[in-house]
Every structure is written in structure tokens, then in C-alpha cells.
């Protein structure tokens, strides 16, 4: 298996011309889209539909009035003024997506970068959502379903790389390299792996200096999202896009954890 990493958002448009045969994509948006999606699915949501634009979310709500609208602009819940329709039901804090709120629900989510990253790789045969919260479960699933090419996508922030996404991609590369038959990872994957290896014993400190973390830490009601999203393997769910573009939990048997490093 060859591991590649998309480090920055400007690399995403080229994916439209990629030959996806034999490839699996893993999307990382640690602060906070994929962390939030994993919490929602772990807490019983039926599905999460990532859409790039707010208008797309409103169209789905019109057709399916029972869905919940979630997401953010500038980190905060989308208002009626921003959407041109109703205010969204939920922001993008994983702590909002409690079982009482999301159980059996479908959530339509529009965020700044995370949902766009999913749209960019929607043509891939398999697309997974990963975070630190479900990293081990995701690694185990990939090991159990080997592919030729594994493409890790770091969603980033606007047009900039996001440190936390790259570190999470590096952590997954490290897990897989220790447990699977992995060819020499691409240079971008090695950048992610070496970056993670440098800071893995002080991850919170390192990530608190990232632009996304600093933005969230400056908003009192969102500050706790940063340590929350850096918890390891607290939400062991494997999440994959289905053919209809809905992120759903893949049923899985409890498995022993990967060897921790």
C-alpha cells in the first residue's frame, strides 16, 4: 500500500483529474469537522451529509424537513442572515452533538473547509472520515481492507494548511507503517510522519499554537473544543461516505486496539 498526503487546500482541485482506481481517501479536519462528524455518528446519528455550500444544505432540508442543519462560518453557528434561510440548528462544536440531540437524526453540515474536502474526493471508491477520536478504529479498518493507494487529505483552513490535520495524518501513517505492508510513503506523507513524531508526546501544546486552535481558544464557549478534539480513540467508530454522499458508521466487531506507539 502506498500512502500519499494532501497537505494543503490548493492541492484539492487537481483531485478532479485523478485516477481513483484502487484508492481509499481519508479526510482529516481535526478542528473540528471530522471530529464533530465522528462524535455525531458515535452518539447515534443515522448519517452526516457534508455539503460545501449553505444553499445546498437548505435545499436538502426543504426536501427532508426532519434533518438537522449543522455547521459554521468563522467557527460559529450559521445565522439566518448568513444562510438566507433559517438559522442552522447546530454549530460545529462536537460537544453539541449529544445522543439526546442527534440519535437517529440525519445532519446536513456545511463548514469552511471540512465539507469541501469531502466533496473534492467524493469520486473515490472509498472515503473515510478520521480524527484523533477514532484513529485506531480507522487504522484497523484500513488494515482489514487493504488497498493499493491510500490518500490522506488534510482539509486545512481556507487556503492554508492546518497543523492539526497534518499531525493527525502523520499519526495514521505511523500506525499503518508499524502494522501493515506499506511501501515507502510519499515525501508529503513523510513530512506528516516526521512532524507527528516530533510532537506526539506534547500534542496539545503543539496544536494550541495552530491558527485554528488559537481562533477557537479565543472564543470562550468554543475553547474546550480544542482539548476535546485531541482525545485519542474515545469514539471508536469507522465512518465512510456511502454512494449517496452520506457519512455513516460502518458496523464493526470490537477489536483489540492497535499496538500503541
- Least Å distance, CB 72 to ligand MLT, is 5
Measured distance CA(226)–CA(160) in Å, rounded: 19
In this complex, which beta carbon is closest to ligand MLT, that of residue 2 or of residue 119?
119
Closest by CA to 113, choosing from 154, 85, 141, 144, is: 154
Counting contacts by CB under 6 A, is residue 177 touching ligand MLT? no
Measured distance CA(222)–CA(76) in Å, rounded: 9
Q: Report which DSSP code applies to 16.
A: G
- 242 SS3 class: coil
Q: Which stretch binds ligand MLT (CB under 6 A): 5-13, 50-58, 106-114, 248-256?
A: 106-114
Q: Please answer whether residues 96 and 37 qualify as being in contact, where contact means their C-beta atoms are separated by less than 8 angstroms.
A: no
Measured distance CA(55)–CA(59) in Å, rounded: 6
Q: Hey, which residues between 29 and 58 contact ligand MLT (CB under 6 A)?
A: 29, 32-33
In this complex, which beta carbon is closest to ligand MLT, that of residue 186 or of residue 211?
211
User: Which one among 157, 177, 195, 210 touches ligand MLT, defined by CB under 6 A?
Assistant: 157
Beta strands 68-73; 106-110: pairing state: parallel
Closest by CA to 28, choosing from 136, 164, 165, 126, is: 165
Q: Which stretch binds ligand MLT (CB under 6 A): 26-34, 144-152, 173-181, 235-243?
A: 26-34
Q: Hey, which residues between 225 and 254 contact ligand MLT (CB under 6 A)?
A: none
Identify any residues that bridge with 28 across adjacent strands, giving them in sequence order.
130, 154
User: Which one among 24, 83, 106, 111 touches ligand MLT, defined by CB under 6 A?
Assistant: 111
User: Which one among 9, 75, 161, 236 touches ligand MLT, defined by CB under 6 A?
Assistant: 75
# binding residues, ligand MLT (CB under 6 A): 11
Binding residues vs ligand MLT (CB under 6 A): 29, 32-33, 72, 75, 92, 111-114, 157
Amino acid at each position: 500500500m502506498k500512502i500519499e498526503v494532501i497537505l494543503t487546500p490548493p492541492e484539492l482541485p487537481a483531485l478532479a483529474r485523478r485516477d481513483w482506481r484502487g484508492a481509499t481517501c481519508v479526510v482529516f479536519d481535526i478542528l473540528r469537522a471530522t471530529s464533530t462528524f465522528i462524535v455525531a455518528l458515535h452518539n447515534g446519528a443515522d448519517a452526516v451529509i457534508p455539503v460545501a455550500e449553505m444553499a445546498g444544505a437548505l435545499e436538502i432540508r426543504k426536501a427532508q424537513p426532519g434533518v438537522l442543519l449543522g455547521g459554521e462560518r468563522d467557527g460559529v453557528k450559521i445565522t439566518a442572515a448568513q444562510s438566507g434561510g433559517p438559522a442552522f440548528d447546530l454549530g460545529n462544536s462536537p460537544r453539541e452533538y449529544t445522543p439526546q440531540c442527534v440519535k437517529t437524526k440525519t445532519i446536513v453540515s456545511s463548514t469552511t473547509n471540512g465539507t469541501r474536502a469531502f466533496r473534492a474526493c467524493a469520486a473515490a471508491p472509498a472515503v473515510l472520515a478520521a480524527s484523533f477520536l477514532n484513529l485506531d478504529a480507522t487504522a484497523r479498518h484500513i488494515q482489514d481492507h487493504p488497498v493499493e493507494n491510500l490518500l490522506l487529505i488534510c482539509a486545512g483552513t481556507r487556503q492554508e494548511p492546518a497543523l492539526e490535520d497534518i499531525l493527525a495524518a502523520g499519526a495514521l501513517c505511523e500506525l499503518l507503517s508499524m502494522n501493515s505492508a506499506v511501501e515507502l510513503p510519499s515525501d508529503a506523507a513523510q513530512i506528516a510522519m516526521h512532524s507527528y513524531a516530533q510532537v506526539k508526546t506534547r500534542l496539545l501544546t503543539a496544536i494550541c499554537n495552530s491558527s485554528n486552535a488559537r481562533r477557537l481558544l479565543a472564543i470562550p464557549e468554543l475553547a474546550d473544543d480544542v482539548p476535546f478534539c485531541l482525545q485519542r480513540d474515545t469514539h471508536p467508530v469507522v465512518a465512510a461516505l456511502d454512494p449517496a454522499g452520506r457519512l455513516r458508521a460502518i458496523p464493526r466487531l470490537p477489536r483489540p486496539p492497535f499496538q500503541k506507539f
